């Protein structure tokens, strides 16, 4: 016999082998026809293969993007169609607070570090206007990781002080994407605060939650030691050695503590859009006292894991985490590479108010327990 791989018993008539093969082929053809008679869902296509996307969808009307400063996020998109979204973003260089009594001349997208949050819908045509303030000392540009195109738009957007560049792209891939300046020397521009995030919402939208926040981790490399007062400048050697003086959320030590803490109520669902600008370190993002119910791994468009304690965010990457809050108190956002949290600034608070549920958690006895049985 000539079909050893089929482990056919011998003797086996050749005609019968041909018949079996023909029937099998016909069955496969029929199954394929059934599968494609109705269009497979987009999710199924995504899971099954590598799509070559089209940017030829219909664009209806236009609007100007609402941009927000961290920790705020623009409202969810309720449109059911693609439109032209005009983004106006200005680069501004200015001294800003890095820590108490510590200043640093930050190079910003929109006047804040991290830069303005941009929210568009999958399929939207984005017309990007990048301006560079007249009093800037340097040319700047932008590389958005959401862009399919050369340099993420970097070359097309190179802008001298006082100038403006315009380019457009179709937001074809849904997800949460980092953007940053990519003007030479790139590490210097990034180390000085030039990064932010753009969310491309999937066509079907994201599940409804009660609170959304924008949190971005990044490093600062200063000539002075951590906490040394006064105006600080970039220490390139520390950057090259990957030894940051500061590792912070939202551009400064304490940007998410005290009066600036994030707020939520017991029973609410919270979504955090978390980015990591680097420039060097990977973040081990963790919220002390909470568990991530959903993690959109690496900021992609679908939930990859449930019930996660700590999620890894590469430099130039992101994650989306969702969780319900079940108990009042302070939840603590950290990079769980823990010296960074306690000695370099990577610490934020999500303050939760509401009724205590002693079934969820109860302090019973010990020096940490108050007379009322609380903490």
Contacting residues toward Cu ion, per CB under 5 A: 140, 181, 183, 189, 194
Shortest distance, position 42 Cβ to Cu ion, whole Å = 37
Residue closer to Cu ion, measured from CB, 131 or 140: 140
Tell me whether residue 132 or residue 319 sits nearer to Cu ion (CB atom).
132
Rounded least distance, CB 202 to Cu ion, Å = 30
CA distance linking residue 86 with residue 196, whole number of Å? 17
Per the CB < 8 A criterion, the answer to whether 158 and 117 are in contact is: no
Q: Which is nearer to Cu ion, 91 or 333 (CB)?
A: 91
- As measured in angstroms, the least distance from the Cβ of 161 to Cu ion is 11
CB of 192 to Cu ion, least distance (A): 7
CB closer to Cu ion out of 193 and 275: 193
Q: How far is the CB of 141 from Cu ion (least distance, A)?
A: 7
Rounded to whole angstroms, how far apart are CA atoms 235 and 223? 5
CB atoms within 10 A of CB 96: 16
Rounded to a whole number of angstroms, the minimum distance from the CB of residue 116 to Cu ion is: 15
Show the tokens assigned to 195: 């990064």
Q: How far apart are CA 129 and CA 97, in angstroms?
A: 27
Burial class (CB in 10 A: 0-12, 13-18, 19+), 176: buried
Rounded distance, CA 171 to CA 124, Å?
6
Omega before 352 cis (within 30°)?
A: no
C-beta of 140 vs 145, nearer to Cu ion: 140
Nearest approach in angstroms of CB 189 to Cu ion is 3
Tell me how far, at minimum, the Cβ of 190 lies from Cu ion, in Å: 8
**Closest CB to Cu ion belongs to which residue?**
181
Shortest CA distance to 276 belongs to which of 332, 338, 215? 215
In the bound state with Cu ion, the residue whose beta carbon lies nearer, of 107 and 323, is 107
Q: Which is nearer to Cu ion, 91 or 347 (CB)?
A: 91
Q: CA-CA distance, 300 to 332, in Å (whole number)?
A: 24
Of 85, 97, 127, 93, nearest to 110 by C-alpha is 93
Q: What are the beta bridge partners of residue 62?
A: 84
The number of beta carbons lying within 10 Å of the beta carbon of residue 355 is: 9
- Of 106 and 252, nearer to Cu ion (C-beta) is 106
DSSP H or E run through 82? strand 82-99
């Amino acid at each position: 016999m000539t079909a050893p791989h089929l482990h056919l018993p011998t003797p086996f008539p050749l005609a019968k082998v041909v018949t079996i093969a023909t029937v099998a082929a016909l069955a496969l053809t029929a199954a394929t026809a059934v599968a494609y008679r109705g269009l497979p869902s987009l999710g199924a296509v995504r899971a099954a293969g590598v799509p070559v996307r089209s940017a030829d969808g219909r664009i209806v009307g236009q609007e100007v993007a609402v941009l927000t400063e961290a920790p705020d996020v623009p409202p969810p998109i309720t449109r059911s169609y693609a439109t032209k979204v005009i983004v106006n973003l200005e680069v501004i260089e200015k001294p800003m607070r890095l820590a108490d009594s510590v200043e640093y001349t930050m190079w910003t997208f929109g006047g804040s570090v991290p830069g303005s949050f941009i929210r568009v819908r999958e399929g939207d045509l984005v017309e990007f206007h990048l301006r560079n303030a007249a009093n800037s000392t340097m040319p700047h540009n932008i590389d958005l990781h959401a862009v399919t195109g050369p340099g993420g738009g970097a070359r097309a957007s190179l802008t001298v002080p006082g100038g403006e560049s315009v380019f457009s792209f179709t937001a074809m891939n849904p997800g949460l994407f980092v953007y940053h300046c990519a003007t030479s020397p790139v590490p210097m521009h990034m180390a000085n605060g030039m990064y932010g995030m753009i969310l491309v919402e999937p066509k079907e939208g994201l599940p409804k939650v009660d609170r959304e926040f924008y949190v971005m981790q990044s490093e600062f490399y200063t000539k002075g030691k951590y906490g040394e007062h006064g105006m600080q400048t970039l220490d390139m050697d520390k950057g090259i050695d990957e030894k940051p003086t500061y590792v912070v959320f939202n551009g400064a030590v304490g940007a998410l503590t005290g009066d600036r803490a994030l707020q939520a109520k017991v029973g609410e669902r919270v979504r955090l859009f978390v980015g990591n600008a680097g420039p060097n370190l990977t973040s081990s993002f963790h919220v002390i006292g909470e568990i991530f119910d959903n993690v959109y791994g690496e900021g992609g468009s679908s939930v990859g894991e449930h019930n996660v304690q700590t999620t890894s965010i590469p430099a130039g990457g992101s994650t989306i985490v969702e969780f319900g809050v079940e108990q009042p108190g302070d939840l603590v956002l950290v990079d769980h590479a823990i010296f960074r949290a306690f000695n370099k600034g990577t610490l934020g608070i999500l303050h939760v108010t509401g009724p205590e549920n002693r079934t969820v958690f109860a302090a019973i006895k010990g020096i940490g327990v108050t007379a009322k049985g609380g903490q």
